[in-house]
Amino acid sequence: MTTRTSFDSTHLWSRFDEPAYALLRFAAGVLFACHGAQKLFGALGGRQVTELASLHGVAGVVELVGGTLIALGLFASWAGLIASGQMFVAYFMAHAPEGAVPIQNGGELALLYAFVFLFVAAHGAGAYSIDSLMHRPRLQRTAPARR
């Protein structure tokens, strides 16, 4: 049996697990949604995709919708799984052919998103999310007992 001391960093920082995860999920989701806004609307300095049925158009929809769902924590596991898959495909289609090392082929952001969203898919939305609010047990209202 191990005991925790006041110097144990696991004990000291563990109370911030859920808020830190919520911040990570929110930041990654919003940034991912911004990539979708660039593709779909030409916002934030991006070029608008003309064909929604193209790979870039589908990617824009996944990024905007998936990023928003991940940021809000709504169906975050499914959105994370789809977004992660998209980023792995993007890496292997667009970046890997340019070289073996991500920092050299420009694919480090795609891989980072892929693994962060894979973690979101495995972990779920977390305590600070819409999913958590929807699945929270409701208090039972009972009528006062009559005498």
Residue with tokens 């929809």: 61
Q: Is residue 44 part of a domain?
A: yes
Q: Is residue 143 part of a domain?
A: no
Q: Is residue 82 part of a domain?
A: yes
Q: Which domain holds residue 117?
A: 17-129
CA distance linking residue 66 with residue 90, whole number of Å? 15
Confidence of residue 142 (pLDDT cuts 50, 70, 90): low
Confidence of residue 143 (pLDDT cuts 50, 70, 90): low
Residue 131 · residue 27 · CB < 8 Å = no
Number of folded domains that form the chain: 1
Task: State pLDDT tens for residues 86-139.
Answer: 999 999 999 999 998 999 999 999 999 999 999 999 999 999 999 999 987 766
Supply the DSSP string of 83-120, one letter for each residue: HHHHHHHHIIIIIGGG-SSHHHHT-HHHHHHHHHHHHH
| pTM of the predicted structure, to 2 decimals | 0.84
Q: Is residue 3 part of a domain?
A: no
